[in-house]
Amino acid sequence: MTTTTPATTGLDAAALRDRLNTLASAAGIQQWDLGAACSTDSSVQVDRGEPKQLKGAQRSAITVRVWNSDQRIGITSTSDLSDAGLARALEGAKAASAFGNPEETPAFSPLAQAPLPVLDQPLREPLGILSLLATLKDAEADLLARHPAIGTVPYNGLAERSSDRLYLNSEGACRQQSLTTASLYLYARAEEAGRKPRSSGAVRLAYGAADLDVAGCVAEAAERTIAHLDYGPIPTGHYTCVFSPEAFLDLIGAFSSLFNARAVLDGISLSTRESLGTPLAVPFLSIHDNGLHPANIGAAAFDGEGTPTRRLALVEGGILQNFLHSEATARAFGVAPTGHAGMGAKVSVSPDWFEISATPGQGGAASGLNRFARGAAGRDRADGGSGAGLVVIDSLSALHAGVKASQGSFSLPFDGWWIQDGEQRSIEAATVAGDIRQLLRSLVGFEGAGKVTPAGLSPWVWVEDLAVTGDA
């Protein structure tokens, strides 16, 4: 048995596994597994100093899978961990297995009992909903006082959570991870007379609400909002663009099917089996999936099949090196599971936390930026003048609608700035469009140390010759 820290919600994984073994044996079930996520949550929202919403909840999401003698799988969900509730779930999954898809036959992960990584995740005591409310009211008041144009903070929230994750199976796997997390989100709205409203925000994560960088969140939300007040149009054209860490990670996440073995097998990825080992990007780009990074608040020690989480090289030196795998996709490719599986009759695969960096020994940021400084501005002006200057993309919008992952294309509204002749001005409204494969081959370089965000770690990323559609 492998476990991590003691449970925060009172669950005992070993006792639950023993109960399930007894109930399954009584039902004539030989092979089963269970995944569970149970949490206690408290959250608050405010509106100009008044409580808008105070919410507390206890949640349990339990999934039970059963294999029949033909190795077809049935699945059911429950929130009842009593013996009667578990017995009903096992019987329901057993009955559903008769209708299981013979083409989708996930098995237990061969790594479901392998040692787990050791994570430094201190458990914090909850502050309580009244303390959360007082903290958020002070943060909102501080943000409103940062600039006369900031009139409201329409989207805000402060939350804390205590949770347990479990994975158990009939072969003896017994995984349990306990975690406490807290989050703060502030999104301000500013408006000046005769001008359109402008908005921006910031987020902070920590293991406990007392550890949150409230002052830093207020300062960032104010700075980003104020920076967009002086806006103007931008001419349509092709520009060298600089993506903020948040924007570039959002774009990579939107096209994560490039690295997803499930999407490859289903024919909905731009990658194929033969793509491994071939160039995907410029030689100085490396992308790793590293759910174990110390800055990843809420890191999972294991996936939905009990496979340990690990750091995985997706792109190194611009070459596509690995795909993200579940047990089933790994079996199809003849490799080991990578720890990125969900749980289901057809198991999903998803990334954890991206690291974007320069490949050692490949030149990287400095050479790329020097090349831009020498020639990019002149090339832009040679394109008729419409592309002169530099576009800074602060945040992307409408990723759910503006990305066609299976085709590689994107057309996304963004907030950002246009830098021309040494002057920077916020862009009133614009979209950036292109093809992700071309973009990855058009990187100019990186700037600054990697910044930690909720989605991963990335520096500022320079990309040349992107189409920007503006109002001018």
Label each residue of 149-199 as H, E or C. CEEEEEEEEEEEEEEEEEEEECCCCEEEEEEEEEEEEEEEEECCCCCCCEE
Cβ count near 198 (within 10 Å): 23
Q: Say if residue 240 is in the same domain as residue 264.
A: no
pLDDT, one tens digit per residue, over 301-351 is 999 999 999 999 999 999 999 999 999 999 999 999 999 999 988 899 999
CA dist 152 and 421 (Å) reads: 34
Q: Of 302, 331, 358, which closes a domain?
A: 358
Please tell me the pTM assigned to this model: 0.91
129-144 helix and 214-226 helix, angle to the nearest 10 degrees: 30
Mean pLDDT of 31-47: 96
83-96 helix and 13-26 helix, angle to the nearest 10 degrees: 60
pLDDT, one tens digit per residue, over 343-397 is 988 899 999 999 999 988 665 554 445 444 444 443 443 333 344 689 999 999 9
Q: Say if residue 350 is in the same domain as residue 371.
A: no
Domain count, the chain: 3
Mean pLDDT of 36-54: 96
* Torsion angles phi and psi, residue 168, rounded to 5: -135, 150
In a domain, 8, yes or no: no
Mean pLDDT of 56-72: 94
Pairing of β 409-420 and β 73-78: unpaired
Q: Say if residue 318 is in the same domain as residue 288.
A: yes
Q: Say if residue 45 is in the same domain as residue 117.
A: yes
Cβ count near 144 (within 10 Å): 18
Q: Can you give the residue range of the structural domain that contains 185?
A: 13-226
What pLDDT does 113 receive? 97
Q: Say if residue 183 is in the same domain as residue 318.
A: no
What pLDDT does 320 receive? 98
Q: Say if residue 276 is in the same domain as residue 425.
A: no
Q: Say if residue 141 is in the same domain as residue 214.
A: yes
Per the structure block, which two tokens stand in for 49? 């100093």
In angstroms and rounded to an integer, the radius of gyration of the C-alpha atoms of the chain is: 25
Q: Are 357 and 449 in contact (CB under 8 A)?
A: no
Direct distance between the N- and C-terminal alpha carbons of the chain, in angstroms, rounded to an integer: 64
CA dist 31 and 94 (Å) reads: 10
